[in-house]
């Protein structure tokens, strides 16, 4: 998807305030990039910086004018969040949340963003079984997996990349030629059902039964880190699901555990008697 917004070399910033000088006229990209969407692509740390800064800016505007609409800022943030770019940002946001679990205000902004993405039909619920799919289809790189998923979308086998639960994964496995299926799984094709697949998946995620290397191992380590935390926090929820909903549940729990006692206004957390500066 191409971004519909202009891509000036030194654009005038969307947010009018400079942290150090409210009258600042320095529009260079290096100085103001965090306040302007210039198509973030896979630069997720910059996308997150933009999200958190704009969240604070919107709150400051809404405190003065309840009718203020953040739609333009929201469109700037979300316009290129599609397919694997969104998938990558979801994982980035999970890891960011784990590393900033005590920053209640920032976490609430992230929660709002993913709730908004889902409500706006920009994304659906995403299930993360990426390392497992790489293992199943004997694929060594994420690029190859994306290419396979693109072909499956074009052939009508799946509708969305990564939006794949276990029943759908079984359909994909049966569609792919047997010679391209991991032999450990291929011998179960005659009796393959969701219970069997989940059992193999559990053995795969434990990390000792099946060898992993290269990109597969890197993806597996990231997935396992997220899933282990979810399992500890929500013992009644299947830990293999990594989704918008899973992330927002995690954030809600971290905020509760932190004992944050601030007020809620226009969907944001406010520190008692304080305003966090832009």
Residues 152 and 223 in one domain: yes
Residue 15 covered by a domain: no
Q: Per residue in 126-137, pLDDT tens?
A: 777 899 999 999
Residues 172 and 227 in one domain: yes
Q: What is the DSSP letter of 27?
A: -
Q: Phi, psi at residue 263, to the nearest 5°?
A: -90, 165
Residues 74 and 139 in one domain: no
Does 186 score more than 80 pLDDT? yes
- pLDDT of 9 reads 56
Listed in order, strand segments (DSSP E) in 226-270 are: 263-265, 268-270
Q: Which residue has the higher pLDDT, 14 or 254?
A: 254
Residues 229 and 265 in one domain: no
Residue appearing with tokens 């103001």: 32
Residue 46 covered by a domain: yes
Helix ranges (DSSP H) in 68-127: 71-78, 83-99, 104-119
Residues 204 and 254 in one domain: no
Listed in order, strand segments (DSSP E) in the chain are: 263-265, 268-270
- pLDDT of 47 reads 87
The CB density around residue 263, as the number of other CB atoms within 10 Å, is 10
Residue 22 covered by a domain: no
Q: What is the DSSP letter of 191?
A: G
Residues 100 and 167 in one domain: no
The domain in which residue 210 lies consists of 130-233
**Averaged pLDDT score across all residues of the chain:** 80
Distances (CA, A) of 77 to 9, 55, 81, 87: 18, 11, 8, 15
Residue 53 covered by a domain: yes
- pLDDT of 122 reads 62
- pLDDT of 117 reads 83
Distances (CA, A) of 79 to 110, 125, 198: 16, 18, 35
Q: Per residue in 197-228, pLDDT tens?
A: 999 998 999 888 999 989 999 999 999 999 89
Residues 134 and 229 in one domain: yes
Domain count, the chain: 2
The CB density around residue 251, as the number of other CB atoms within 10 Å, is 24
Residues 43 and 116 in one domain: yes
The CB density around residue 28, as the number of other CB atoms within 10 Å, is 10
Residue 147 covered by a domain: yes
């Amino acid at each position: 998807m191409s971004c519909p917004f202009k891509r000036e070399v030194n654009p005038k910033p969307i947010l009018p305030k400079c942290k150090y000088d409210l009258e600042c006229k320095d529009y260079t990209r290096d100085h103001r990039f965090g306040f302007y969407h210039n198509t973030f692509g896979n630069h997720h740390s910059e996308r997150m910086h933009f999200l958190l800064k704009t969240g604070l800016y919107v709150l400051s505007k809404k405190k003065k004018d309840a009718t203020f609409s953040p739609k333009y800022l929201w469109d700037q943030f979300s316009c290129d969040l599609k397919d694997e770019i969104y998938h990558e940002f979801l994982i980035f946001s999970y890891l960011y949340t784990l590393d900033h679990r005590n920053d209640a205000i920032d976490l609430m902004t992230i929660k709002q963003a993913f709730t908004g993405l889902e409500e706006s039909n920009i994304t659906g619920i995403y299930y993360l079984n990426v390392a497992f799919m790489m293992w199943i289809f004997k694929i060594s790189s994420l690029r190859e997996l994306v290419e396979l998923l693109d072909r499956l979308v074009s052939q009508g086998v799946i509708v969305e990349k990564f939006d794949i639960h276990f029943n759908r994964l079984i359909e994909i496995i049966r569609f792919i030629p047997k010679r391209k299926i991991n032999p450990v799984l291929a011998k179960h094709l005659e009796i393959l059902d969701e219970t069997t697949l989940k059992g193999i998946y559990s053995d795969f995620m434990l990390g000792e039964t099946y060898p992993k290397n290269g990109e597969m191992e890197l993806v597996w380590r990231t997935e396992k880190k997220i899933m282990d935390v979810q399992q500890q926090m929500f013992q009644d929820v299947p830990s293999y699901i990594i989704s918008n909903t899973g992330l927002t549940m995690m954030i809600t729990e971290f905020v509760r555990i932190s004992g944050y006692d601030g007020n809620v206004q226009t969907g944001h957390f406010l520190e008692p008697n304080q305003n966090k500066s832009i």
